Amino acid sequence: MDLNTVVSYRFATSRADLILAPGEKVLGGGTGLFAEPRPDVTGIVDLSTMGWPDLEVSEAGLRIAATCTIATLVAFAEGRGPLAVPGGWAAASVFPVAANALLASFKIWNTATVGGNVCQSYCAASMVSLAAALDGQAVIWTPDGGERRQSVASLMTGDGTNSLGAAEVLRAIDLPAVALRSRVLMRKIALAELGRSGAVVTGRVDADATAVFTVTASTLTPTVLRYAPLPDAPTLAAAVGAARGYYTDPLGPADWRRAVSIVLAEELRAELAAGA
């Protein structure tokens, strides 16, 4: 939609360009920003010209630029991009699953950015689900020229809110190699078959047998549960059931979200246990 309060549009090419004037907002792909009235926005600062490499592979893991599109991330995971997935990074197989957890994903994949999805911060933000599942760290540029890091899971404060400062910019998401080498599974459920996620649950087992389960979309903020080794069924069900923030909206009542999260977590636990 037209944001008819916008009177300026500039392309950022340097860090100095990211000093925002009152009313300015940074733009990733615009699929969220232009989707609803934003009378508070008077200027747009486009990040697509910052020149950040979409994906950087290193010994430490994978850096996903905030400006990397979801389509590019999927192409990497499926071996269709310029970079090869390093041998042993089994968790890359879950990237397309996360991308498909977005409602109407085929319409927005080529434009929507990973950073935009995280910063839009809807409960149903599946790039948040992905990052939470793999201990993703947000690399955040602060307005004083510094940088801070925070787990993506802890950055979320509610449906559409996060703890980013007004003038802070998400530079990248870092996924650690240890998590990328893990076995990880993701399940989504929605009231309508292709609808916006009602619950997205992940389960992961690392090489050292540490197990991590996350509950997203059904709770207002991500829930991350860690065990060593895999928990038994009653332990996991109790922890998922006790997670905070199950909520009711037109996409599902809180008691349904809680119940399906428990079921999905147990499916993942059983599958991971069988694989082990």
Ligand X SMILES: Cc1cc2nc3c(=O)[nH]c(=O)nc-3n(C[C@H](O)[C@H](O)[C@H](O)COP(=O)(O)OP(=O)(O)OC[C@H]3O[C@@H](n4cnc5c(N)ncnc54)[C@H](O)[C@@H]3O)c2cc1C
Please report, as ranges, the residues that interact with ligand X according to CB under 6 A: 25-33, 35, 47, 66, 102-104, 107-108, 111-113, 115-117, 119-120, 122, 124-125, 169-170, 196
Cβ contacts of 240 within 8 Å, gap of 6 or more: 201, 213, 215, 223, 225, 258, 261, 262, 265
State the minimum distance, in angstroms, from the CB of residue 100 to ligand X.
10
Joined tokens for residue 276:
């082990």
CA angle 92, 152, 70 (to 5 degrees): 45
User: For 201, which DSSP code?
Assistant: E
Nearer to ligand X, 6 or 178 (CB): 6
State the minimum distance, in angstroms, from the CB of residue 266 to ligand X.
24
**In a 3-state reduction of DSSP, which class is residue 14?**
coil
State the minimum distance, in angstroms, from the CB of residue 215 to ligand X.
16
**In a 3-state reduction of DSSP, which class is residue 257?**
helix
Nearer to ligand X, 141 or 213 (CB): 141
Nearer to ligand X, 30 or 176 (CB): 30
State the minimum distance, in angstroms, from the CB of residue 96 to ligand X.
15
Nearer to ligand X, 30 or 86 (CB): 30
State the minimum distance, in angstroms, from the CB of residue 34 to ligand X.
6
State the minimum distance, in angstroms, from the CB of residue 134 to ligand X.
18
Give the CB-side neighbour count of residue 24, counting CA atoms within 13 A: 19
State the minimum distance, in angstroms, from the CB of residue 143 to ligand X.
12
| Position with the least CB separation from ligand X | 116
Whether the CA torsion 94, 95, 101, 105 is positive or negative: it is negative
> What is the rounded CA–CA span in Å between residue 173 and residue 175?
7
Q: What is the CA radius of gyration of the chain?
A: 18
Nearer to ligand X, 182 or 197 (CB): 197
> Which amino acid would we find at residue 36?
E
Longest dimension (CA), the chain: 58
Burial of 117-137, coded b for 16+ CB within 10 Å and e otherwise, reads: bbbbbbbbbbbbbbbbbbbbb
